Amino acid sequence: MKNIFTHTRVRPALLAAVLGLALYGNAGAATYTTLDSAASKVSFGYSQMSVDMTGGFSEVKATELQFDPATPDTARIALEIALKGVDAGYAEANTELAKDEWLNTAKFPLASFTARKVTALGDNRFEAAGDLVIKGNTRPITVPFTVTETADNGVFKGQFTLQRSDFNIGEGQWKDFSIVADNITITFSLVAKP
């Protein structure tokens, strides 16, 4: 009888301890305020003459960052990407992309994204609805992403597709999608610290 009594009292105590740890974990969730630009990566994929190509950007920074996974509705996120740091995979393409017909980096050195609303989707999945600005053109987009938290930082990963024609990337003869496709896939891994 003594063993049964002890056993039945241990179960509620164990359950309370587990629930307490879970609540403590949520209450102690980090609020991320600083982007680690050196550890963060933004890349893109595109199709040129039906051949898949990839590229990336050498610099991304946050002009505003306030994100707590427990309260995503209070998030403030504003990012800038230096277009002069574009690398499309080879030097000739990089020179071409800087020209007026493509990114016109002399006049528009930065692309930016500003979130208007962040929504939790469950299982560490979120989506940010906001404005993407490239080459002076603003378009609303929704960006899905996940957040993986460690003791030191949070890693925000996601992917979305944009149409280059929406931003006048590729003007004149380059509006023809038979050479360079309209769809550009953006992939990111952003490392943030509390």
**pLDDT surpasses 60 at 2:** no
9/73 same-domain check: no
- Element housing 161 (H / E): strand 154-163
Query: Are the C-beta atoms of 167 and 145 separated by less than 8 Å?
Result: no
71/106 same-domain check: yes
The pLDDT of residue 58 is 94
Report the percentage of the chain scoring pLDDT > 70.
85
136/67 same-domain check: yes
Domain span holding position 11: 1-28
CATH (domain of 52):
2.40.128.110
Q: What is the mean pLDDT of the chain?
A: 89
Reported as a pLDDT band with limits 50, 70 and 90, residue 89 is confident
Reported as a single tens digit per residue, the pLDDT across 16-47 is 444 444 333 444 469 999 999 999 999 999 99
Reported as a single tens digit per residue, the pLDDT across 169-182 is 999 999 999 999 99
> In total, how many domains does the chain have?
2
23/47 same-domain check: no
Which one-letter DSSP state was computed for residue 1?
Answer: -
Which one-letter DSSP state was computed for residue 90?
Answer: S
Nearest to 78 by CA among 64, 89, 67, 66: 64
Q: What is the dihedral of CA 87, 89, 95, 100, to 10 degrees?
A: -70
Which one-letter DSSP state was computed for residue 94?
Answer: H
The contacts of residue 132 (CB under 8 Å, 6+ apart) are 111, 112, 113, 138, 139, 140, 141, 162, 167
